[in-house]
Every structure is written in structure tokens, then in C-alpha cells.
Structure 1
């Protein structure tokens, strides 16, 4: 039965979930910082512009996208593991809403990367700095939700 399998592999699933979260969060913190420097320092069409676009693409595609998929796959496996999540409590709902917010932010960053490629970025460095706080706020909600289980 699936529930038995998930219960037997619970600690491995949780470990892989945490590893995926760490990798995803690193990217969610770093990519907006790259955008800040890209918009404030780099001249469009320059060799440095091409270098930043390469770094941003590799970060998003090679680290962030696989990590986000891992978060979702292992997170859903944990949700379906018998006895782990009680949907009668508030914490799983606040965590789920925050993970959806993180996913939205991830996709927003992907769209901004496409703006740099097209040469149509209209977002300021200040705006990217402010948006860089979004994953921090969501992380706080997630960690408090899971640890405190209010």
C-alpha cells in the first residue's frame, strides 16, 4: 500500500525535502540580487550583460527549477504520509499558502529573467531589493508554522 511505503521512507522523504528547500531558498535569495546588480551596473548588450544572463539562466534552470520540483514532490509525499499532517489544524494551511507564494515568486523571477533577455526590463534595483524580502517573509511563516504548529 502507498501509505505503508511512505511511512517506511518518511525520514528519507523528509531529508530530501529539506535538502530541496535549502537549494530552492538559496536560489530565491540569490537570483533577485543578481537582478539588482544586472539592472544597476551592467550595460545592456555588453559582454557583462551576456555573462549575467548566463548566470541567471543556469541558476534558474539548473538549481532553482529542480529544487522547486523536489520541494513539491517530497512535500506532497510528506502530506500523504499517514499521521504527518492534520488538516484540522491551522499550520498546514499557512504553510501551503506560503509555499504557493514562494512558487509564485519563483515564476515572477523567471518572467523578469525573460525581460532581461528581451531587453525590456523595467524593474528598478530598489524594487528587486524589496522583492528580495518576499522569500524571507514566507520562510518565516513556513518555519514557524511547521515548528510551532499553531
Structure 2
């Protein structure tokens, strides 16, 4: 498999993962706004299924990224400072992903204490992190 195929698969799974990462907190916004138990129960199902659906994409993004770095080698990794910055942001995305699972479980127990505004911020802030990753990967500024 050529490096371009690996990169294509890495980007594909990253896009699929990010689609879910951006949508799940939007579900939290709507969930936090409703007072009807039947609607809350429907959101619980949607949130859990979405998180479980996107988690393999997160893992495949990681696997293909690690393979790519391995193939480029340690010498490349040492001189490519931009990748270190990217990896820090990527690590934060995985922490964010795990935090979303925590929130799925909080909502499942009807124990949410955050406002819809909190979830709006949680929904929109990762866009800037993704922009930083894309800029680092494409521009390789340092």
C-alpha cells in the first residue's frame, strides 16, 4: 500500500470522526434544552449510538496516522517540528472524545448540570482545533 493510500485513508477516517465529533455536542444542546422525558430518552439512544459509531473512526485515524509516521521514519519525525504541534492538538481531540463519552453517560443517567450554552461552546470550539491541525499539516510552518 503506498503512502498516498495511507494518507487518503487517514484523512477519510478523520473526516468521518470529526463529523460525529461536531454533531454529538449539538445533540447535547438539544438534549439540555428539552424537559420532556420521551424526547430525552430518544436523545440518549442517539448520543450513545453516535459515540459508538464514530469511535472506530477515531481508532482508524490513529492507526493510519501511526503507520504513516512509522513509514516516514524517526529522522523525519525529529526534523518536522510542525508534526509535534499537530500531535498535541490531536491528543487533545482524543481527550475530548473520551470526555464526550463521559457526557453521554451523564445524560443517560439524567444527571446533566450544564446549560445548552455550555454545549454550544463545546460544539464550536473544536472547529478551531481542527483548523489548526489542517493548517499545520498543509502549510508545515516550522
What secondary structure, in the 3-state scheme, does the structure 2 residue paired with 1:132 have?
A: helix
C-alpha separation in 1, matches of 2:72 and 2:40: 50
The 8 Å contact of residues 34 and 40 in structure 2, kept in 1 or not, is answered as: no
Range with bigger deviation, 17-26 or 85-94: 85-94
C-alpha separation in 2, matches of 1:98 and 1:87: 18
The 8 Å contact of residues 25 and 135 in structure 1, kept in 2 or not, is answered as: no
Give runs of aligned pairs for residues 18-97 of structure 1, distance below 5 A.
Answer: 18-43=11-36, 46-62=37-53, 64-82=54-72, 85-97=76-88
Of 109, 118, 121, 1:130 maps to 121
Structure 2 residue ranges without an equivalent (≥5): none
Shift in Å, 1:97: 0.4
- TM-score, normalization by structure 1: 0.87
Of 90, 103, 123, 2:94 maps to 103
Displacement over 6 Å in runs of 4+: none
Q: How many residues align?
A: 140
RMSD over equivalenced CA pairs, Å: 1.5
Greater fraction of residues in helix: 2
